[in-house]
Each structure stands twice: as C-alpha cells, then as structure tokens.
C-alpha cells in the first residue's frame, strides 16, 4: 500500500488551497447524476465527484482484491463497507493513484474522464448507506458533567456508571436525514414544574447536539463480540452528526427508559464519509480514563493504533437567523475531548454478542470541551436559558427558533492539507399542528 495521506500528493484535478476535499481525503458518498436518477457510489475530489460505478465497469478494480465484485453500482455503500479493511485500503490506493497528476490513465483518457467525473454542483446527494440501526452514545465527560451539574449539582453530576461504561441508547434510523433537509419542530408532551398535568404541543426548547458518527464495516455474527484488537477492522469512516433534541419533551419523558420522542424526529448527517485512512495522521492520545476501564475496554490492543483512538478534529457550529446576513459562530470544539472512544463504543455495543451490521451508524453524543465556547449544545452554551447567546443583529437565543439554520463543520489540518467533512446543515420549520 502507498501513503495516500502524503502531503506532497497532487491531483490532475485542481483543488484550491484549504479545500475540504483534496486528494489526501477522498471521502465516499452516494449520489445521482443529472442524466441518471439511479444513485450510485462516488468519491469526492475537489469540486468534482468521481463516479466509481464508471471505474468499476471499466475494470479498474479487477486486479485489486475487490476483483470482479461490483459494489459501487448499489444505492448505498453497505456492500463495500462489508468487505473489510484490506479491500477498503486497496480501493483507496487505486482511486488515489488514478487521480494523481503523474498518472495518465484517467488524466489523458478524455472519454473515461468525461464519463467518470461530474461537477459536484450538478449531483444530488443521498444517504451514504442504508442505515439498519442507529445508536447514540453519551461519551463526552465535559458534556455529561455540565448537564448533570444543571440538574443534580456538581457533586452528583456524573451517574455512578459513567466512568465505567460508554453510555448509549438505540436511536431511530428511519429519521436520519442528509444535510440540507428541513427539520420540522416536533410536538410532544411537556410538563411545567408547577403544573398539575402535562400538555401537548410544539417543543419550545429545541436544541442542536454537535456530534461525530461512524459507519460500521463487516460486523459480527450474533453471539460473537468484537474485541478491542478487532475494532479497527469494523470502523469504515466518519461523518458529522447533529442529533437534534427536544429538551422540554425529554425532561418529562426520559424516566425511566431515557429519550424517546425527544430524539426520534430527526438526526442530520453530512453526506461524505471520511475514511479512517484519511484521518490516520490526526490520531492522538485520548483523555486519561480513571478508573481504568475493565479489561475488554482496555485500549492497548486497539488495532495497533499509534497515538491511540482519539482524533484531532476541529468542530464548529454556527447559527443563521432569518434576519442575519451570515451565520454566527456559537461553538468551537474538538473530537479529541471525547472520554470514551469509537473503539470502546463499538466493543461495548457488541459485548453481549449484539450483531453489528455493515452500514450501522454509531454517534458520539454531544461533544463539549473544557471551556464555555467549546460546549456542544444550546443547553450548555446558554446554560439552561440563563445566559442567552447574543447575535450581531441584536437578537438573542436560548434555544433554536423557527427558521433558524444550524450549520456544523469539521476538519483536520496539518502540513498544508485540510481534511474536511463538508456541510451538516439543517433549517428548522414551524411545527405542524
């Protein structure tokens, strides 16, 4: 395998400086062309989409471990995800080679180039996989402490199990939507502290949750857990996630079984799945875990990962109100703050023998850092409504209002190379009542 993240690599396709999608990134997605409605799989390079179905039919993967198996003419990446790390790396190696400035195979074949490269502005993006299951974790210690402090005080902020297990719940896969999809304000039951009975109506405390999620690879057979040493072979790539939250609905409903209607109405993800190989240069040591995790969650055997299972991914959230000319940044955080790592989330999820399947989505939970500007939700940023966020327009927000747009961005950057995740945006529409 060649080093596909080498900062010196250049593509024959011109990619502007600081672009999210240089040749070192090569994220996967599912798109449809203007001349063909059927979705297929592609790779993003600069302002173009490389149609992998075209390359597949032209036999450009035949002499790789993928062979004659057609996986890119599907309406999701699930079949490719199921192939495992060796094939993922081989395909990435081939795509990178074909796009390089010194490789004439695609560069000088005008017919192939015309068929394989589509301007990104002309395509329609689709969900990158058929998501069978969606699990949301609660893996930011800073976030858990902040929320616990609001409701139970700092001395009881973390629940007794928090430092021992990656806490999570099963979300609703059917309402995972792509960036740009409008979000309808949900309705549900809420109850004021001094009210005798609950009422039904639109959520008043609508929030965003800054998260990062990962798609799973081959998965495991029912009854056979995934070990920490195997985790790297089961994590395909990452996307940005906004797991919208109806805070007032959740307050009333969450005991004893946790969130339900407060979380099932929408989860927004970015369309391009950044492969783990592209993020390899940005591995870093995770926060110290005290007490030490139980043996099955110990990270020393995490696939031989140099530097650990944390990643230095810069994250930003901005809000554009109907009266503003530009989005106003409200949060700047980093994925490296997560207490529980992706590998630990995956291993714990399968510890019972639960079968993980190709294309399942596992999300981090709200990513908050140690400082106020790095808090990953309005609940924290406005501190339960007591510190409203001020906008340049003179407006203020305690939570998300109708017609507000929440914009999330994520990127890694080093040696002049930016690995970006693209857009994860959603505009809130009034409730339908």
Instruction: Please give the positions annotated as active site.
Output: 143
E strand segments, 163-296: 168-170, 176-178, 183-184, 187-190, 199-202, 206-207, 210-216, 235-242, 245-246, 267-269, 274-275, 283-284
Q: What's the first-to-final CA gap in the chain, in angstroms? A: 56
**HEC secondary structure over 308-368:** CCEECCEEEEEEECCCCCCCEEEEEEEHHHCCCCHHHHHHHHCCCCCCCCCCCEEECCCCC
Residue 407 burial by Cβ neighbours in a 10 Å radius (0-12, 13-18, 19+): buried
C-alpha span between 428 and 277 (Å, rounded): 35
Say what the alpha-carbon torsion angle 83, 86, 92, 95 is, to the nearest 10 degrees.
Answer: -80
CB environment 157-179: b (16+ within 10 A), e (fewer)? bbeeebbeebbbeebbbebbbbb
Q: Which two tokens stand for residue 333?
A: 């955080």
Closest to 24 in 3D by CA, of 37, 36, 14, 11: 11
- Give the residue ranges of DSSP H helices in 193-239: none
Q: What are phi and psi of 290, to 5 degrees?
A: -140, 115
Closest to 212 in 3D by CA, of 373, 349, 336: 336
CB atoms within 10 A of CB 431: 15
C-alpha span between 424 and 407 (Å, rounded): 6
**Residues 320, 404: contact at Cβ < 8 Å?**
yes
Look up residue 85 and give its DSSP letter: H
Closest to 210 in 3D by CA, of 366, 364, 318: 366
CB environment 298-312: b (16+ within 10 A), e (fewer)? ebeebbebeebbbbb
């Amino acid at each position: 395998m060649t080093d596909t993240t080498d900062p010196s690599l250049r593509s024959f396709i011109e990619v502007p400086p600081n672009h999210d999608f240089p040749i070192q990134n090569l994220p996967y997605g599912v798109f449809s062309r203007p001349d063909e409605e059927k979705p297929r799989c592609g790779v993003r390079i600069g302002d173009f989409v490389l149609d992998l179905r075209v390359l597949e039919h032209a036999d450009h993967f035949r002499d790789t471990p993928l062979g004659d198996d057609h996986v890119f003419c599907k309406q999701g990446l699930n079949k490719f995800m199921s192939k495992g790390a060796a094939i993922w790396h081989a395909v990435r190696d081939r795509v990178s080679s074909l796009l390089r400035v010194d490789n004439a195979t695609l560069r000088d074949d005008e017919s192939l180039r015309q068929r394989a490269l589509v301007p990104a502005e002309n395509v329609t993006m689709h969900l990158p996989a058929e998501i069978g299951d969606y699990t949301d974790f609660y893996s930011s210690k800073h976030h858990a402490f902040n929320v616990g402090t609001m409701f139970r005080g700092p001395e009881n902020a973390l629940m007794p199990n928090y430092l021992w297990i990656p806490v999570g719940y099963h979300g609703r896969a059917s309402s995972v939507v792509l960036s740009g999809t409008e979000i309808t304000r949900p309705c549900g039951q809420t109850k004021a502290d001094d009210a005798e009975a609950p009422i039904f109506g639109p959520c008043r405390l609508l929030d965003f949750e800054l998260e990062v999620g990962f798609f799973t690879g081959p998965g495991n057979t029912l009854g056979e857990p995934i070990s920490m040493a195997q985790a790297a072979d089961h994590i395909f790539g990452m996307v940005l996630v906004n797991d919208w939250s109806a805070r007032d609905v959740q307050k009333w409903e969450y005991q004893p079984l946790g969130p339900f209607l407060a979380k099932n109405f929408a989860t927004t993800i970015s369309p391009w799945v950044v492969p783990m190989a592209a993020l390899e240069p940005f591995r870093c040591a995770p926060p110290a875990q005290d007490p030490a995790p139980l043996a099955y969650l110990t990270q020393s055997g995490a696939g031989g990962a140099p530097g650990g299972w944390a990643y230095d991914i810069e994250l930003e959230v901005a809000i554009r109100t109907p009266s503003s000319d530009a989005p106003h940044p409200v949060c700047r955080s980093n994925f490296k703050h997560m207490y529980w790592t992706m590998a630990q989330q995956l291993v714990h999820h399968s510890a019972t023998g639960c079968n993980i399947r190709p294309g399942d989505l596992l999300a981090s939970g709200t990513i908050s850092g140690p400082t106020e500007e790095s808090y990953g939700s309005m609940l924290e940023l406005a501190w339960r409504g007591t510190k409203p966020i001020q906008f340049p327009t003179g407006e203020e927000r305690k939570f998300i209002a109708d017609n507000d747009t929440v914009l999330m961005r994520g990127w890694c950057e080093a040696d002049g190379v930016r690995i970006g995740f693209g857009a994860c945006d959603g505009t809130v529409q009034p409730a339908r009542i």
